[in-house]
Structure 1
Amino acid sequence: MQLRETFNTYKGLPRSIYVLFFARIINTMGAFVFPFLTFYLTENLGIREEVAGTYVMLSAVSYVPGSIIGGKLSDHFGRKKILVFFQGLAALCFVPCAFLGNSMIVPWLLILAGVFGGAAQPASSAMTADLTTAENRKGAFSLLYLGTNIGFSIGPLIAGFLYNNYLKWIFLGDAFTTLISLILVLIYVEETIPSEKEMEEGKKLKTDERTEEGHLIAVLFKRPSLLAFALVSTIYSFVFAQHHFALPIQLSDIFGEESSKKIFGVLMTTNGAVVVTMTIFLTTLTKKLKPILNIAISGVLCAVGFGMIYFIDKPSLFVLSTAIWTMGEILNVTNSGVYIANHAPMSHRGRFNAVLPIITGAGWALSPRIMGSFIESYGIKQVWIVAFIMGLCGATLMYLLYLVERRREAKKIDAV
């Protein structure tokens, strides 16, 4: 594969996509607060671990009501307006935190920021779908995913230097970079919500992007393949969640508490490095395959990457395992957004991009509780057998969905 061909994957995209790419880098590069939230709650505020866990959970769960509200509003008032308004409110929540010291108001402001951030997310996803077509979406979603991870690979490093001596700049820096990214969007990205004329023309489309009328649930059930995709995706998120939950426990069991933390840090660095270096190559390599088939391949890589942990006990092999499941993560994330965009009606993009991530991400929420009980009963090592089986099951179901869609497309061609 020639280097020029590889970078051509990102060539010719709408200008607004490139602006969003740089905005993502700036925004996530300044994502200082939430990576260090647990440290802040326990060390600075002196909150017990159990109570701190409750606040962390609330900050994560706060995304859900915000997302539902933002999805609805972005379909009625515009993607850009909702994105800028709610992301701006999230940034402003961080400013008073810099000056409140050890006040218990701070955790609640961070939870509120989670609500506002959740409201902005569906607008951002809908905007990307509006700006692209089925032909160039894969490159666009891949580029934005890359931008997000470039920022996240730098942000925690900067925050680590700021945390001990310049704590208020953790909050101010997060607010400042978010506002800078929003200024880029405000100036250089046009409003993308379809006009009334485009909505009318959209009723004539022969694809799943055609305009629909009616309540979200009713319209969603008109897209059974998308609903099936979302439900199968919960298997994926359940398995991928093990890198945050079961993997640290496994490392501690093999290498001891002190060494396991260092090794886990190396593995997370590996994860970030593979995302940044391999996203463009994997996107180019699989660009001719349908998104759902790429997601099926992702499940196989997920099964192999996590399943091999059952057999290994050397740090170098854990690095190899991480590289394999990370490539699965890349294929899953970059193609899932494309699949949803290709099957969501243009009239409901905001709402679909609010509800579907909640369904697909259910595995992340359920996994720690279920696997925690499983580990207590059967031991940590058996987790990886379950992960392997679930990964293959997810891949098989995605492949069956691919076959169903291919048969449906063939019938449409025969009908014409």
Structure 2
Amino acid sequence: MRVRVLRVLDVGGLPRVFWWVWVSTLVARTGAFVAPFLSYYLTRSLGHSAAFAGFVAALNAGGAAVSAVVGGVLADRVGRRGTLLGALVASAVTLVALGSVHSVGLIAVLAFLAGLANNATRPATGAIIADIVPSGDRGRAYALNYWAINLGFAVAMLSAGAVASHGYSLLFMGDAIANVGCAVVVFFTVPETRPTSVGVAGAGHAGQPERAGTLVDVLRDRIFLGFLGAVLVGAVIYSQAQTVQPIMMGQDGLGPGAYGAVAALNGILIGVLQLPMTSWMRRYTHGSVLAASSFLMGAGFAVPLLISAVGHPMGVYAGSVVVWTIAEIGSTPPQMALGADLAPAHLRGRYQGMSTLAWSVAGIVGPLVGGWALTAIGASAVLWASLLLGAAGVPAWVMLDRRSRTRVATLRAAEAHWEPVLSAIASPEVVSAGVPTSEPEPEPV
């Protein structure tokens, strides 16, 4: 029975270290209270203006954008494990400090530092998964980790109200404790996996000297730059879920309760559909899944165009969420997997960092452009633009899929020379030690 369940959910056969990474992700996300409630805390508890709250949110997003690159570089230079542990501890410290100050200047500085620390965990985590999971299994590994992110966040949102009722400072403390708990799990169960620190040749073949690399190498990679462009467009469309769509729901006479209901629908669908859809999508290439998901993403956000014809705005918005949630499930994990497949082993941290940066930039640009367009041009124009952008992503992902096949095949062949080494790293004997086998040598930025 257990074997049958594992086969249906497609969760078997992954390294033990991956599951510890999964647990650490779940622990961190179950306490992710601060980001969703930061603006509410600043305006309702401290009495600051909405403009200041928006400024602080922008600073936090700016810190996250910077750390996407810095975290990726550090993951390659000093190691995945050290970068992840340092970022988690720094995040805990800055969160406690942010919840303790009332000065406008200190709030602004600490909000930037909190974003800087928190987002630096993502490139390191992504690189660890790419290091220890074979290429053929990375899609479902990233899907499972994404499932943990959403499951933990759902728990955080359900409990945040009760926590806040006893004082907003507990939100900051709880978030910090979750980060420390994640760091404890990582410290005792996740070894260093950076290939150049475990005796793996960066050149991809045993016996060849290790290769260094810089961000310039990443920026010269035309295939990866095309990948980043496609990711950015999709992320800009997706960013409308937290900006344009709730504003439009208000304009159509729906209150905060309605928005909360459709937001909960997104989380429920991910929890129910993520694993079976991941198993089903393994039949197809990443490019074909991403092309279909791009169209669905644009179409999902364009569904409210039907309100003028059929009425029933609540039902239409619920349908919109269903469509773009399916697109979210079909796009995010395959994007992570393809981004990892395109990266040479010695540059995985930097490649993961640039992928994270694309999402961070979309989180800044999307709300600004979407909010401006909604005011200056109108809701219909924004919805049609979402549909057109989603449709434009279809040929982009198909072309990228074709151009990347040779690259991915070459890198997979190179990985075959050192996968036994990384399998040993992920074995229970090494995991139980909880420490790296050797100190990594620094590399150029």
TM-score by length of 1: 0.90
Structure 2 counterpart of 1:159:
160
Root-mean-square deviation (Å): 2.4
In the alignment, is the contact (CA less than 8 A) between 1:212 and 1:345 conserved in 2?
no
Q: How does 1:193-342 map to 2 (within 5 A)?
A: 193-195=194-196, 198-200=199-201, 202-204=203-205, 213-221=212-220, 223-255=221-253, 259-312=254-307, 313-314=311-312, 315-342=314-341
Offset, 1:277: 0.9
Identity of aligned residues (%): 25
SS in 2 for 1:186: helix
- Cα pair distance change 1:186/1:214, threshold 3 Å: closer
- Give the counterpart letter for 2:8 in structure 1: T
Aligned to 1:86: 87
Structure 1 residues 212 and 107: CA distance shift in structure 2, 3 A: same
Cα distance change, pair 59–362 in 1 and its aligned pair in 2 (3 A): closer
1:4-403 equivalences under 5 Å are 5-7=7-9, 9-100=10-101, 102-104=102-104, 105-195=106-196, 198-200=199-201, 202-204=203-205, 213-221=212-220, 223-255=221-253, 259-312=254-307, 313-314=311-312, 315-403=314-402
Q: Residues 63 and 115 of structure 2 are in contact (CA less than 8 Å); yes or no, is this contact kept in structure 1?
A: yes
The alpha-carbon deviation at position 386 of structure 1 amounts to 1.1
Q: Which amino acid aligns with 1:218?
A: D
| Structure 1: stretches of 5+ with no match in the other structure | none
Which whole-Å CA distance do the structure 1 matches of 2:218 and 2:97 have between them? 42
Q: What does the per-residue CA deviation read over 1:186-244, in whole Å, with 9 as the maximum and x for residues that have no partner? A: 10111101136744264339xxxx975443223442x3222111112221111111111
- Structure 1 residue 106: Cα displacement: 4.2
Does structure 2 retain, via aligned residues, the 8 Å contact 1:234–1:361? no
The CA deviation at 1:98 is: 4.8
CA apart distance, 1:356:
2.7
Shift of 1:115: 1.1
1:254 is displaced (CA, Å) by 1.5
Structure 1 residues 107-116 or 235-244, which shifts more? Answer: 107-116
- Matched residue of 1:200: which SS? coil
Q: Deviations over 1:356-385 (max 9, x none)?
A: 321354333222222333223331122111
- The answer to whether the Cα contact below 8 Å between 1:304 and 1:324 also exists between their aligned partners in 2 is yes
* Matched-pair contact (CA < 8 Å) for 1:88–1:179: yes
1:289/1:53 CA distance change after superposition, 3 Å: same
Query: How far 1:163 sits from its partner (Å)?
Result: 1.3
Counterpart amino acid of 2:233?
I
The offset of 1:97, in angstroms, is: 4.3
Q: Offset at 1:26?
A: 1.2
- Residue 139 of structure 1 aligns with an amino acid whose one-letter code is R
Distance 1:202 1:370 in 2: 42
Aligned equivalents of 2:76 and 2:186: distance in 1?
18
Normalising by structure 2, we get a TM-score of: 0.84
Report which stretch shifted further, 116-125 or 353-362.
353-362
Query: 1:344: how far off?
Result: 0.6
More relative contact order, 1 or 2 (CA 8 Å, 6+ apart): 2
Q: Give, in angstroms, the shift of residue 333 of structure 1.
A: 0.8
AA of the residue aligned to 2:292: I
- For residue 176 of structure 1, report the CA deviation from its aligned partner: 1.0
